[in-house]
Amino acid sequence: MSVLAAGGMMPLTTRAAISTPFTFDLEPPMTAREAFVEWMVNNRGEDRHFLGQRWDRLQAMVEHKDVWDDVVKRAFLLTPREEFVQKVNRSHSYDHNFLDIGYGVTISGPHLVGRMTNSLEIKQGDKVLEIGTGSGFQSSFLAHLTDKCYSIEIIKPLAERTRGVYDELIGRGYSEFQNITTKNADGYYGWEEFAPFDKIIVTCGIDHVPPPLLKQLQPQGVMLVPIGPPGAQRVLKIIKGVEADGSTHIARTDIYNGRIVPFVPFKKLDGDKISGTHNT
Ligand SMILES: C[S@@+](CC[C@H](N)C(=O)[O-])C[C@H]1O[C@@H](n2cnc3c(N)ncnc32)[C@H](O)[C@@H]1O
């Protein structure tokens, strides 16, 4: 079945396959809206209406200092957020706000995702772990910055649905999403098999830094994690230091200078049932 996007745009299932596959040196025009939109239509087969909205949202993010590095701006411009929101919300893909994605959880707003992503200071080749795959948007943004993204989602049907979104997009030519490895599990315990990670991004709120995640972070690695009581977290950037004697210390900064940013709770898996949270 073909689904018409809001506003009479191109049906999402009949889009042209991508003619120019992603590479880390792909350079869409970044100085003028019209040139960007034309280039993306011709090279990536995307819808010009959404492309215009994506451009405009990025300008607002830059103005609010949510994104500052060119490489992160480019990654945002290459990420089709409209593919990760619910169909009913497609016309709101580039709104400032978070949106419902079912199962009682949300896709975070672009400004928050932008600020957390830029704060991670990802270098190409970094191994990045995300806790809370959700819609898949955050990891798809990361996949334009490094080829090693790992993402864990606790809600099984959501993890499966989002895996399906990635696979469908890969089938359409978004080869960069092959950079994302996913699993359904409780992310509190990290992903030992692929540890250590250069960067970790936690997209659900908790009242402490999960010790297994800190352990799986490289020395000098960076973790972005919303810490605080339910519904009132502060988004901390944590840098892990390791002394000559092997002891670990962390340096923290608040990427919103003390502003409260509410997040979906960091839930706990008990057997195969989600039960309560990891708060102490
Ligand atoms: C704000 S939402 C999703 C944001 C997501 N990064 C995106 O781009 O859409 C946070 C996600 O964390 C998930 N989550 C909560 N507790 C978790 C846990 N213990 N392990 C893994 N994921 C968890 C939720 O189910 C939810 O999907």
Domain ranges of the chain: 94-277
Atom of ligand 1 nearest to the CA of 263: 1
- 257 alpha carbon, distance to own chain's centre: 22
Tell me what percent of the residues of the chain surpass a pLDDT of 90.
91
Which residue is it, tokens 């090279």?
43
Domain 94-277 has CATH 3.40.50.150: yes
Residue 2 confidence (pLDDT) above 60: no
108: annotated active-site residue = yes
Say whether 242 sits in a helix, a strand or coil: strand
- The protein residue with its alpha carbon nearest to ligand 1, atom 5, reads 134
| Averaged pLDDT for residues 4-18 | 50
- 42 alpha carbon, distance to own chain's centre: 26
Mutate to test the pocket of ligand 1, among 82, 115, 154, 263 (most ligand atoms within 8 A of CB): 154
Q: How far is the CA of 136 from the centre of ligand 1 (A)?
A: 10
Q: Which of 4-13, 83-92, 129-138, 269-278 has the lowest mean pLDDT?
A: 4-13
User: Which tens digits make up the pLDDT trace of 210-249?
Assistant: 999 999 999 999 999 999 999 999 999 999 999 999 899 9
User: How far is residue 163's CA from residue 198's CA, in Å, rounded to a whole number?
Assistant: 23
- Please say whether the beta carbons of 73 and 96 come within 8 A: no
| Averaged pLDDT for residues 132-151 | 98
Q: How confident is the model at residue 8 (pLDDT cuts 50, 70, 90)?
A: very low
User: How far is residue 269's CA from residue 137's CA, in Å, rounded to a whole number?
Assistant: 23
- pLDDT value of residue 17: 76
The CB of 154 under 6 Å from ligand 1? The reply is yes
Q: Which amino acid is at 102?
A: G
| Averaged pLDDT for residues 169-189 | 97
- pLDDT value of residue 252: 97
The CB of 135 under 6 Å from ligand 1? The reply is yes
Best CA proximity match to 262, nearest among 215, 210, 205: 205
Output the pTM of the full model: 0.94
- Please say whether the beta carbons of 66 and 108 come within 8 A: no
Q: How confident is the model at residue 18 (pLDDT cuts 50, 70, 90)?
A: confident
Give me the catalytic one of 93, 108, 139, 140. 108
Best CA proximity match to 183, nearest among 212, 213, 158, 214: 158
- pLDDT value of residue 203: 98
What DSSP line would sit under 41-57, residue for residue? HHHH---HHHHHHHHHH
